[in-house]
Structure 1
C-alpha cells in the first residue's frame, strides 16, 4: 500500500485499498514459495479469499500485479504539492525523499521484494519497459503542469525521460537507494560533467 494515509477516505475506498494490498501481499508470498511462473491467478485469489473475477477488478493481469508501482502516483502528487517557487528538480527530490522517508520498514521491504522479483523473472524484466514509459509520462505531465506548459510538450517529456534514465542508470543493481538517487539528481543538475 502506498505511503498515503487512509484518513479522509470513505469506508469503501479504505476497503478497496486493503483488498488490493492483501491481493499483492498474498501474491508475493506465493511467488516466493512456489515461483512466479508456477503461481496462478486462481491460487492468488484463493489465498486472498476473493474470486478470480475480483482479482481482475484490481489488477489486469498477474504481470501487472507485480509491475504496477503504487508509489509513482503518490510521488507525483507530492511533487505537485511542493511550493511554486521551488525549482523543478528540487521539488522532485523533495517529493522522493518524503515518500521514501514515510515508508515503514515493512513497506520498504515489500517494495524491495517487488523489485527483486522483476529483476529475476525475464518476462517481468522485459515488460518493465512499458511500466517505465507510464512513469515517464506521469512525470512529464506533472512537470508540464508545474511549469505551466502544455501537456505532452517536448521539454517536459525529455526532462522526465532524462531524470528517470539517470536514476535507473545510477541505481544499477541497487534496488532502492535514496543516496544513489540523490547522486543521480546531483549529476543531472550539474549537466552530466565528466571528471578526469
Structure 2
C-alpha cells in the first residue's frame, strides 16, 4: 500500500471511529454529518466521499467482517472440504466481530432503534448470503441450487443468531465461538424442532 492509500485508509478509519463515539454519546439520529466531519477534522464533502450515508458509517465494520471472511474462503484451497471451509468462514467472521466488542454491540443496539439502519443491515446480510450461495454452488456442481441457497442461509442465520444472543446477554457471557459451538451441536444432534412436512 502506497503512502497516499495509507493516508486515505487512516482518514477513513478516523472518520468511522469519531462517528461511533458521537453515535454512542448523542445517538444516531441526533448526530449530524457536520458534527462527524468536525470531530474527524475533515470537511463534509470529504466525509461524503468516504461514506455517502450515515448508515454506511455504521455498517461498514460488519461488511468488512463478513466479506473478509468470504474472500478468504474464495481464495482458499478449493480442495478443503466444504464443511471445513464454512467452519473457517464462520470462525473468521465471528472472531473479527468479537475483536471489537463495543462496536459490535453498539451496531446491533443502534439497528434495533433505527429502522433505516435495520433495513440497511438486512440488505447487507442478504447480499452476503447470495454471494456465499454462489461460492457454495461452484463447489457443489452436482447438487441443486436449493442446496447452496439453504447452506448459505443456515450459515448467515447461524452468525446472526450467535451475535444477537451474545449482544443480548448481560454481564459476562460466553464467547461468540462458544455460542456458535453450542448452536452447531444443537443442529448436528437433531435437537431443534424443524418442520418436517408441508401440508398441501
Shorter-chain TM range is 0.7 to 0.9
Change (3 A) 1:124 1:94: same
**How far is the alpha carbon of 1:38 from its aligned partner?**
0.6
Match of 2:72 among 65, 71, 78: 78
Secondary structure at the counterpart of residue 174 of structure 1: helix
Aligned 8 A contact 1:93 1:185 in 2: no
Superposed CA RMSD in Å reads 2.9
Q: Distance in 2 between matches of 1:38 and 1:30?
A: 9
Q: TM-score, normalised by structure 1?
A: 0.75
Match of 2:109 in 1: 116
Q: Which has the larger Rg?
A: 2
**How far is the alpha carbon of 1:112 from its aligned partner?**
2.9
Aligned 8 A contact 1:163 1:185 in 2: no
Match of 1:34 in 2: 26
Match of 1:144 in 2: 137
Secondary structure at the counterpart of residue 63 of structure 1: helix
Change (3 A) 1:99 1:134: closer
Match of 1:179 in 2: 178
Q: Distance in 1 between matches of 2:29 and 2:75?
A: 40
Q: Distance in 2 between matches of 1:12 and 1:157?
A: 40
Change (3 A) 1:171 1:29: closer
Structure 2, unaligned runs of 5 or more: 168-174, 194-200
Structure 1, unaligned runs of 5 or more: 1-8
Match of 2:128 in 1: 135
Q: TM-score, normalised by structure 2?
A: 0.74
Q: Distance in 1 between matches of 2:146 and 2:18?
A: 41
Alignment of 1:36-115 (within 5 A): 36-68=28-60, 69=62, 70-98=64-92, 100-101=94-95, 105=99, 107-115=100-108
